[in-house]
Amino acid sequence: MECIFCKIVNKEIPAKIIAENKGALAFLDIEPISDGHTIVISKKHYKNLSQCDNETLHDVLDLVKEISQNMQDSSLKPWGINYLSNEGNIAGQVVMHFHMHVIPKYGKEEGFKIKVGNKYLGDINKIYEELKTIKK
């Protein structure tokens, strides 16, 4: 497998690792969109959040929370933080290994920005009926 994040976990390529726990690893993004932009990955290879087991998902989110608290207590002093995980090419996922971005915000027009497009919205009642009946 040629997964760059697996190579980071296995220490085959260098990364600016800032924290880790049993199931997750956090490192600085090499193409940051703000100071402190961090990527938190599962140590075990999962393609995306939907495929991730619950224990690993908890490890990733625990590390996301720890990183966020450390950022807020650091000299960076972000005004806010965006949390992001894309799933699939169409959603912007580039590396097909479950990861979350922790992106500090220092100004409204800096860092991560959300552009909303709602061209294909269906009837909310029909969508509600469809989703409320989903069973495991």
Condensed to tens digits (0 to 9), the pLDDT of residues 51-81 reads 999 999 999 999 999 999 999 999 999 999 9
SS3 50: helix
What's the mean pLDDT when you consider all of the chain? 91
Tokens of 127: 């969508």
Q: pLDDT band for position 135 (50/70/90)?
A: low
CA–centroid distance for 58 within its chain: 13
Spatial separation of the C-alpha atoms in residues 81 and 66, rounded to whole Å: 13
Spatial separation of the C-alpha atoms in residues 93 and 91, rounded to whole Å: 6
Please indicate whether residue 37 is annotated as part of the active site. Answer: no
Among the options 37, 58, 97, 99, which is catalytic?
Answer: 99
- pTM for the full predicted model: 0.87
pLDDT above 90: residue 84? yes
